[in-house]
Amino acid sequence: MTKEKNELWEWTKALLIAIGLAAVIRYFLFAPIVVDGYSMMPTLHNGDRMIVNKLGKPERFDIIVFHAPEQKDYIKRVIGLPGDTVEYRDDTLYINGKPYAEPYLDSYKSQIVEGPLTEDFTLEETPVGQKTVPEGELFVMGDNRRSSKDSRHIGSISIKKVIGDTNMVYWPFKDIRYVK
């Protein structure tokens, strides 16, 4: 009888440890997310399932997940870091006056028949309302520039609202890929 009790207790402990580890990993290290919408096309597709890495700090051009003002989590690309000037002219991104290539937009740009993919703007013309990205904030944009609600509409986002970055699609199985 005591041998059965000990075995039951050992299984219970193992189960509790597994649940505890899973909770720690999910809460502090990694979390799943489902892409909802088309604002990150062609890089990400509606329904893609990804893993969010909660470690590290966001860098330029990372794809991040953050808490948006609409009580919803958004997935966008980091364009401007604190202190950066961000501007678009003639469908070219300029950060601190220097032009940057955006190879992740090439497939969309090649399909454009009329007008630019990204309309011209400066930070002062967005809800950010100043020349540079504020300290502790990020300027983010979706890859589907014509159909993305991003910092051009909601302003810069606090780094504190960032859940983490993501670059691995694990579902649907046929679309498993690393994205950048």
- Chain segment 17-26, per-residue pLDDT in tens: 888 777 766 6
| H or E segment and range at residue 23 | helix 2-24
Q: How far apart are CA 99 and CA 120, in angstroms?
A: 13
CB 157 within 8 A of CB 151: yes
Query: Which of these is catalytic: 3, 5, 54, 76?
Result: 76
Q: For residue 132, which of 89, 79, 179 has the smallest C-alpha distance?
A: 79
**Is residue 107 annotated as part of the catalytic site, yes or no?**
no
DSSP structural state of residue 78: E
**Is residue 76 annotated as part of the catalytic site, yes or no?**
yes
Which residues lie across from 89 on neighbouring strands? 92
Query: Which of these is catalytic: 3, 5, 13, 39?
Result: 39
pLDDT at residue 141 is higher than 80: yes
Using the structure block, give the residue that is written with the tokens 């597709």: 45
Name the pLDDT band for 31 (thresholds 50, 70, 90).
Answer: confident
User: In the CATH scheme, what architecture does the domain 32-178 have?
Assistant: Ribbon (2.10)
Q: What is the pLDDT of residue 80?
A: 96
| H or E segment and range at residue 109 | helix 106-111
